[in-house]
Structure 1
Amino acid sequence: MTQRKQVDAEPGNKKIQNAASAGLYALLVLLALWVMRDFIPAVAWAGVIAIALWPLLQRLETPHGSRARRVGVALLLTAAVALFVVLPFALVITQAARESHDFIEWFKQAEASGIPLPGLAEHLPFGAQVVSWWQENLAGPLHDSPFIKGLHVEAAVTAGRHFGAVAAHGLILFGFMLLTLFVIFQAGSRMSGNLVKATHRGFGAGGALLASQMTAAVRGTVAGLVVVGIGEGALLGIAYAITGVPHATLLGLLTAIAAMLPFCAPVIFCGAALWLFAQGATAGAIGVVVFGFIVVLIAEHFVRPLLIGSSTRLPFLLVLFGILGGAQTFGLLGLFIGPALMTVLTVLWRDWVGQD
């Protein structure tokens, strides 16, 4: 009788042990994530970039390549990513350094004699109010300007310190992102195989398929944002050069960076058109605006949804909601997370209604 009770108690004890083990594992995982919480964005960015470049990594790798080759390929791809991110900022800083002397001279002159009123101001909406405010605050010597006196130096210094702290934090995260990316690239197909096995074991065949589709969504989003952004920047850079906008190459680069964010390119090319209009080049300004909106319309409504949606069969509206909603919720990283989450929603819906 006692032996039978022991046998009956064993399944109950086994369930308790399994539940306790699961709770302990979950607690340890959450504790580990909390410890590395400040570096999770760096790991997430490294994961997104690794997913986007994984087909290229597989082409460069050999099935039985040496460890030195794996390290070399990892270094090459990591250096390419670093150069792709650092080069635009380096060009902007270099150009700013070149223009700093002229800016300092202009500021000294403005401080002594004021800033002349642009002829464009009179034609703006509420032009009379704009002209009156300009004459009162900026047309005379700046050291006597009520507007300049109203600026708080302490607030400017605090803002500068805050910007410096944010920039330093960003550089640290960027360094850890590159380190994480190098480790991922070095692990290569071995890490990919282990992740597939773990997903299949934990969530079954359906979970593994869903993870594969989410990966495709991230890769398609990178192509849709980055490639289309570079294309917009190149086309508008040519338009800047033709219409005589100064520093057309640099401005095209800034346009490409802005175009990687949905509907942000008009901020740059409308600013360039405004400069042309202020210089009297009305035809060039109109041409830049019209050409810019045509490029943005084609890129945002046809090319980008095609690149992102074709990889996961996402409708245009879900692509748009995924990008904009993801950016609003998670920041820049959400641009890539959003479409992946929309993929989950689409797959679950298709499974629910039985659609292939």
Structure 2
Amino acid sequence: MISRPPDMPPERPTMPDRLKKQKAASFALYIGLVLLALWVVRDFIAVVAWAGVVAIALWPLLRMVEGNRWFTGRKTLIAAALTLAIALLVVLPVGIGIAQALREAHDLNEWFKSARETGITMPDFIARLPFGVQQISAWWQANLAQPLRDSPAMKGLHSTTVMTLGRQFGARALHAVMVFAFMLITLFVIFQAGPRLSGSMIKGVRRGFGEDGAELLQRMAAAVRGTVSGLVVVGLGEGALLGVAYFVTGLPHVALLGFITAIAAMLPFCAPITFGLAALWLLVQGSFAAAVGLIVFGSIVVFIAEHFVRPVLIGNSTRLPFLLVLFGILGGAETFGLLGIFIGPALMTVLMVLWTDLVR
């Protein structure tokens, strides 16, 4: 074995080894800088995600408007008009609901004053119940028919816990308003960039991950678009149909109830809560037939929408089985909140593509 003389200098790394180390160091530096940038803008990630969901859902409409000869070269006008339309679709119903709630605040306050001084009168329909009338009447007389000024429930309304909850609700509402405002700004920028933005994203993904990566990105966008159609469009349809039922059964504030039902129907299995409470109100008022009719009609509408219309809209666009669509929506909502309703099916699409490639 020949040993190196002690006075000989150590071997220098060859050029390929040096390039490999430089690439590895550059890659680590890029990853660190990306993570640092994401940490800096962490509070705005949800804003960008919401803007991305809305932009993906409206992208076909944007391309169609841009293709019209009347709007050629007017990207800023198109972006401003679409952003304003989204703002009005959210602000107007919420504003109407707040105005209606403020109008009802006076009557609600008077009802609380009456309950404090004279108690709550037992509804007439309790006497017509087929069973349990005596027990319910005795409990009502002992707990609700007496003046409630000294009851623990009334005292709890003025406790520090309620005030703390009120402040937390106000802070969350202010945060939601700020998120919505920044989302509109981001959405305007995305719309203004238009096809140039989508083209650069596809080009970058194709360069980094090949054609399979570009196809996967397009399928994820289709999954988000299909989820928006399946949840939002079907939810609005359920709200409109049940709004007609509310009007026929004589419920008050039909428009507000229909709007609340439409919002609840966008979430899986939440619409029965709204029309169930409406039916309970009708039952308290003594309208037994109207309450039963509302429950039956609402159950039919929700059954058709949840088991036929919504799976077709979402499943056809994503080519996902209904079970994966359902798990994606519910699991995404549990993991990421409301935004996860749209992210979940997109992630299930990735899972389905990987599984298809694996068994191919």
1:149-188 superposed Cα distances (whole Å, 9 cap, x missing partner): 3556111111111111111111111111111101100111
> 51, 54, 59: which one pairs with 2:59?
54
Aligned-partner SS, 2:74: helix
1:289-327 superposed Cα distances (whole Å, 9 cap, x missing partner): 011011101101110010001012111111111111111
| Partner of residue 230, structure 2 | 224
| Contact 1:225-1:304 at 8 Å conserved across structures | yes
> 84, 88, 108: which one pairs with 1:79?
84
| Partner of residue 28, structure 1 | 33
Letter in 1 for 2:230: G
Distance in 2 of aligned mates of 1:161 and 1:92 = 20
Task: Give structure 2 stretches of 5+ with no counterpart.
Answer: 1-7
Change (3 A) 1:192 1:126: farther
> 155, 162, 172: which one pairs with 1:156?
162
| Contact 1:266-1:292 at 8 Å conserved across structures | yes
Task: Give structure 1 stretches of 5+ with no counterpart.
Answer: none
Aligned-partner SS, 1:142: coil
1:345 matches 2:313: no
Once the two structures are superposed, the pairs formed by residues 134-173 of structure 1 within 5 Å of their partners are 134-150=140-156, 153-173=159-179
Distance in 2 of aligned mates of 1:317 and 1:296 = 18
Once the two structures are superposed, the pairs formed by residues 168-183 of structure 1 within 5 Å of their partners are 168-183=174-189
1:277 matches 2:268: no
Task: Report the aligned-residue RMSD.
Answer: 2.2
| Contact 2:156-2:162 at 8 Å conserved across structures | no
Aligned-partner SS, 1:143: coil
Cα displacement (A) at 1:243: 1.2
Larger displacement relative to structure 2 (183-192 or 97-106): 97-106
Cα displacement (A) at 1:30: 0.5
| Partner of residue 112, structure 2 | 107
Number of corresponding residues:
350
1:324 matches 2:330: yes
Cα displacement (A) at 1:94: 1.2
1:288 matches 2:297: no
1:206 matches 2:204: no
Aligned-partner SS, 2:252: coil
| Contact 1:233-1:253 at 8 Å conserved across structures | yes
| Contact 1:138-1:145 at 8 Å conserved across structures | no
Change (3 A) 1:15 1:308: same
Distance in 1 of aligned mates of 2:163 and 2:152 = 20
| Contact 1:137-1:147 at 8 Å conserved across structures | no
Aligned-partner SS, 1:157: helix
Aligned-partner SS, 1:91: helix
Cα displacement (A) at 1:131: 4.5
Distance in 2 of aligned mates of 1:35 and 1:21 = 21
Cα displacement (A) at 1:134: 3.7
For normalisation by structure 2, the TM-score amounts to: 0.92
Cα displacement (A) at 1:99: 1.7
Larger displacement relative to structure 2 (345-354 or 117-126): 117-126
Change (3 A) 1:126 1:81: farther
1:256-294 superposed Cα distances (whole Å, 9 cap, x missing partner): 010000110001101111111122211111111011011
| Partner of residue 4, structure 2 | none
> 296, 305, 310: which one pairs with 1:304?
310
Letter in 2 for 1:284: A
| Contact 2:125-2:286 at 8 Å conserved across structures | no
Change (3 A) 1:125 1:45: farther
Letter in 2 for 1:20: A
Letter in 1 for 2:82: L
For normalisation by structure 1, the TM-score amounts to: 0.93
Distance in 2 of aligned mates of 1:61 and 1:207 = 27
Larger displacement relative to structure 2 (136-145 or 86-95): 136-145
Distance in 2 of aligned mates of 1:63 and 1:89 = 33
| Contact 2:115-2:147 at 8 Å conserved across structures | yes
Identity %: 62
> 5, 18, 22: which one pairs with 1:17?
22
